[in-house]
Amino acid sequence: MRSDVITVQTGSRPTVRDITAEAQAFVSSEGDGLLHVFVPHATAGLAIIETGAGSDDDLLTAIDALLPTDGRWRHRHGSPGHGRDHVLPAFIPPYATVPVLDGRLTLGTWQSICLVDTNGDNPTRQVRFSFLPG
């Protein structure tokens, strides 16, 4: 197994950040196997979705509808509504696994690996890539 960590700047607002290029660069010298992607944070997740056609903004809108930033949350430190950020990984998990064939991610035509971060209090994230040879 080979593993590496990248740092991703997500900023101070909720964001969906495409990390497919970084993932592909990590596996490009590999053969067949699995890429496992993990975010070691309690307030971020990973999604495999289409980006660039509005789906990333639609995802943030859906998160806001499902997990609003209001006073309902018992977890209350940080920005107002921050408790929802701690619930996010139950809906958008902090991990994803993608098959790799001959050093290429086998994503569908419109699929991208995206870091989903709704926590503006923590603008710097770590993402671990692990390659498991087949």
What pLDDT digit, counting tens, does each position of 108-119 carry?
Answer: 999 999 999 999
Burial of 43 (0-12, 13-18, 19+ CB in 10 A): buried
Q: What is the pLDDT of residue 46?
A: 98
What does the pLDDT look like over 52-108, one tens digit per residue?
899 999 999 999 999 999 989 898 787 888 899 999 999 999 999 999 999 999 999
Q: What topology is assigned to 2-133 in CATH? A: Jelly Rolls (2.60.120)
Average of per-residue pLDDT across 37-43: 97
Residue 76 has phi, psi (to 5 degrees) of -120, 5
pLDDT at 79: 82
Predicted confidence at residue 71, as pLDDT, reads: 87
Mean pLDDT, residues 19-26 taken together: 98
Query: CA angle, 124 as apex, 122 and 129 as ends, to 5°?
Result: 125
93 close to 45: Cβ distance less than 8 angstroms: yes
